Chains A and B, each alone.
Chain A
Amino acid sequence: AQTVTQSQPEMSVQEAETVTLSCTYDTSENNYYLFWYKQPPSRQMILVIRQEAYKQQNATENRFSVNFQKAAKSFSLKISDSQLGDTAMYFCAFTTSGTYKYIFGTGTRLKVLA
């Protein structure tokens, strides 16, 4: 069975600092897609970053970047220069061709401190 594990239920970081959220997954597929989504308090889920497994280059999106280690099945999210608006629940998600569903991790609640 395909699974996604986020081992850090809660984290905090000082404003302007860097934080890394962990995600590991398990699959026997070779081609798949990984995502980080952000869900701010009482607001809707939005995509932070997307990574295709066949691409060796790590995805980046402004202050957000990933460290994708395919052999280790690890997909961590690094947030640089943390801002108060980054306070949110962060979910790691996974999908493969033909399944038509995302599998989500249990989330990491990130709090950015002023």
Chain B
Amino acid sequence: KAGVTQTPRYLIKTRGQQVTLSCSPISGHRSVSWYQQTPGQGLQFLFEYFSETQRNKGNFPGRFSGRQFSNSRSEMNVSTLELGDSALYLCASSPTVAGTDTQYFGPGTRLTVL
């Protein structure tokens, strides 16, 4: 089975722009989670989706949003980018509704905001 894929792998944007990141989960996995990883804050939970429904959201401003499609692929969007949004954005998928399954991570999207 193919693993979790994320596109693009690298992005450079300027302050004020917006960005959309994409995640394709492992085939058959219906839960997708997003995390922001920075050297100072570690891994911070952004949101989780299951069957197109957001089940939980982390403590991030409204500029961060996401969605999930019927094929379980997910996107996250960051509007009005700030320098502090520079980070590695990780997507993870898991197979069932439980929310306690092992999560399988993608390689991440490295976002640099100038």
Using a CB–CB cutoff of 8 Å, the interface residues on chain A facing chain B are 33, 35, 37, 43-47, 50, 91, 95-107
Cβ-neighbour of A44 out of B35, B98, B105 (below 8 A): B105
Which residues of chain A are near B33, meaning CB under 8 Å? 100-102
Given the known inter-chain contacts A95-B100, A102-B33, please indicate yes or no for A44 contacting B50, CB distance below 8 A.
no
Asked if B108 is an interface residue, CB under 8 A from chain A, the answer is yes
Decide if B106 touches A104 in the complex (CB within 8 Å): no
Which residues of chain B are near A47, meaning CB under 8 Å? 102-104
Decide if A102 touches B105 in the complex (CB within 8 Å): no
**5 closest A-B pairs by CB:** A100-B99, A104-B43, A45-B105, A100-B56, A100-B55
Given the known inter-chain contacts A101-B48, A104-B43, please indicate yes or no for A50 contacting B106, CB distance below 8 A.
no
Decide if B103 touches A105 in the complex (CB within 8 Å): no
Q: Bound complex: CA of A35 vs CA of B58, how far in Å?
A: 20
Given the known inter-chain contacts A44-B105, A101-B56, please indicate yes or no for A91 contacting B43, CB distance below 8 A.
yes
Q: Bound complex: CA of A94 vs CA of B106, how far in Å?
A: 19
Q: Which of A43, A96, A99 has the most CB of B within 10 A?
A: A99
Given the known inter-chain contacts A44-B106, A44-B108, please indicate yes or no for A33 contacting B48, CB distance below 8 A.
no
With A47-B102, A95-B100 given, name 11 new contacts (CB 8 A).
A35-B102, A44-B107, A44-B108, A45-B105, A99-B56, A99-B99, A100-B56, A101-B99, A102-B43, A106-B42, A107-B42
Decide if B42 touches A105 in the complex (CB within 8 Å): yes
